[in-house]
Amino acid sequence: MKEILTCLTLWWVAVPAAHAQFHATNLAPETLRYRLLSGSTEVGSATLTISRDHAAGLIHIVESISGLFEQTATVTLRDNATLQTLTSHTVISRDNQYHQFQLQYADDGQRVTGEIRRPPQFGGYRVVDTALPARAADIYAVVPLFRASSLAVGRMIQFPLFNALENETGLARAWIARLEPVTVPAGSYECFRLEAYTGNARLILNIDTQFPHRIIRQIVPSLDVKFELVVIE
């Protein structure tokens, strides 16, 4: 296992950041509902809604989480093979404290502007105007972009990201480790297992091998929380 991780690390370092190409059709218009579990205890729920504005060539993704904390993240992507992030608006409420991030991406994702409003102990109000690597994605677009990638066992995925919460650029990267059967309230699925990172944060994603490659289960080890698909609408 150590040798595998070493090889992956070297691959991510050695391969230059390329312009990733995505399958926009994987982001099919629908609503997906998830339950959040910590161990065997249900601790919240999440709803993911994807819609399209065909006239404007846009995809809108809204993810709402409730339970452990309240969060709504809305991202708008260009509806083509770049799936370039255009806007991102996130509101987080936890322990009676509110965080709001409103961002616009321009110049092929090479610049992000906007504003951040957080409690004083987290930095307060801040204007954002940051240069980014070409086609950088907003952190809240990362999981949909993994889903929209070309999926095959053994494949590596990598693209730049911007994380407003930490005010830093980084890399989203994933290794499609194997096929894995997964059973959730919505049913049983044959899934790709992705070992993924957004910056330094680890994710484990189970993505249905069948089109439109929905996220069936998402595990966040740092929070000891997993998302399981409950219903497709």
Domain assignment of residue 11, yes or no = no
How far is 100 from 81, CA to CA, in rounded Å? Answer: 29
Which is nearest to 59 in space by CA: 90, 43, 80? 80
pLDDT tens per residue, range 77-108: 999 999 999 999 999 998 788 999 999 999 88
Residue with tokens 């929905």: 214
Q: Which residues of 116-131 are buried (b: 16+ CB within 10 A; e: fewer)?
A: bebeeeeeeeeebebe
Give the Cβ contact number of residue 139 at 10 Å: 25
Q: Given a cut of 60, is residue 18 above it in pLDDT? A: no
Domain assignment of residue 153, yes or no = yes
Tokens representing residue 37 in the block: 């579990």
Q: Which residues of 16-53 are buried (b: 16+ CB within 10 A; e: fewer)?
A: eeeebebbbebbeeeebbbbbbeeeeeebebbbbbeee
**Containing structural domain, residue 44:** 19-232
Domain assignment of residue 2, yes or no = no
Domain assignment of residue 47, yes or no = yes
- Which phi and psi angles does 54 have, rounded to 5°? -65, -35
How far is 64 from 70, CA to CA, in rounded Å? Answer: 8
Indicate yes or no: pTM above 0.85. yes
What pLDDT score was predicted for residue 10? 36
Domain assignment of residue 228, yes or no = yes
Q: pLDDT: is 231 or 95 the higher one?
A: 231
Domain assignment of residue 7, yes or no = no
pLDDT tens per residue, range 41-64: 999 999 999 999 999 999 999 999
Domain assignment of residue 5, yes or no = no
Q: Given a cut of 50, is residue 17 above it in pLDDT? A: no
The domain total for the chain is: 1
Percent above pLDDT 70 for the chain = 91
pLDDT tens per residue, range 111-144: 999 999 999 988 899 999 999 999 999 999 999 9
Q: Is the Cβ–Cβ distance between 148 and 22 less than 8 Å?
A: yes
- Which phi and psi angles does 3 have, rounded to 5°? -65, -40
For 51, 73, 192, 193, 203, the CA distances from 31, given in Å and listed in that order, are: 9, 15, 21, 22, 22
DSSP 17: P
Beta bridge partners of residue 72, listed in sequence order? 64, 91
- Which phi and psi angles does 5 have, rounded to 5°? -65, -40
Domain assignment of residue 100, yes or no = yes
How far is 199 from 181, CA to CA, in rounded Å? Answer: 27
